[in-house]
Amino acid sequence: MGREAAEGRARSAEGRATGAEAATEHAGNSAGNSGRIPRENSAVESAEDSVDRHIARWTGKVPFDVPTEAVITRIQLLAKHVSHGKERALAETGLQAFEFETMHRLASRGAPWRAPSAELAAELLLSPAGMTGRLDTLEKSGLVRRLRAAADRRRVDVELTEEGHRRWLDAMRWRGVAEHEMIEPLDDGERAALAALLKRMLLAVETR
C-alpha cells in the first residue's frame, strides 16, 4: 500500500487501541461491581478459532493432551503473525530483512551507532566476504559508512548514517504498530498475567 494509506492505517490502529482500552476498563469495572464476566469477554471466550477447529479435526485420531495442544499451537500461530507483522513493517519502509538486521545491531550500541566490522560479522554469523558484500549494499544506499579505526588502521568500523538511523527508527515504529494490534484485545492486567505465564514457561526451558 502507499505511504499515506499506511500511515492512515497506523493512526486508525492507534485510535482503535485507545477505544479498546477504554472499553476494557469499563468492562473490568462492571465485572468488579457485578461479580460476573463481561458479556463482551464471554462472547470472545465462546468464539471458535482455527485451533479449536484443529483440535476437533484431530480428536480421536491421534493421542494428545488438549490443553497442551491448544497452548502450543496458539503460540506457534501467534509467532507466525508476529513474523508477518515484521515483514509488513519492513515493506512500509522499503528495507530488506538483511538491511534492517544489520542496522538493528548497530543501533543497539547507542550513539554513534558504531561497531567493528569483524564483531558485526560474528554477531550476524557472516563470513568476511559475506559481511563485505552486505556492507557494500548498505553503504551504496547511504545507510552506513565504513571508517578506519584511529587506534588500529587495519580495523574497519561500521557506523549508521543519520539517514540509516532514521530509516531504522521508522521500521521500529511500524513494528510497534503491528505488535500493538496483536496485543490490543488484552487490558494491562491481562498483559502482565500473560507475560508472567510465558516467562515461567520460558525459564523452565532455558534452565533445563
Question: What pLDDT sits at residue 136?
Answer: 96
Q: What is the pLDDT of residue 150?
A: 75
CA distance 39 to 127: 57
Model confidence pTM above 0.75: no
Residue 50 backbone dihedrals phi, psi, to 5 degrees: -65, -30
Task: Provide CB contacts within 8 A for 89, sequence distance 6+.
Answer: 171, 172, 174, 175, 177, 178
Phi, psi of 187 (to 5 degrees): -85, 180
Give the rounded percent of residues in the chain with a pLDDT score beyond 90: 67
pLDDT digits (tens, 9 = 90+) for 145-182: 999 877 777 789 999 999 999 999 999 999 999 999 99
Place of cell 480421536: 60
Angle between helices 66-93 and 50-58 (to 10 degrees): 140
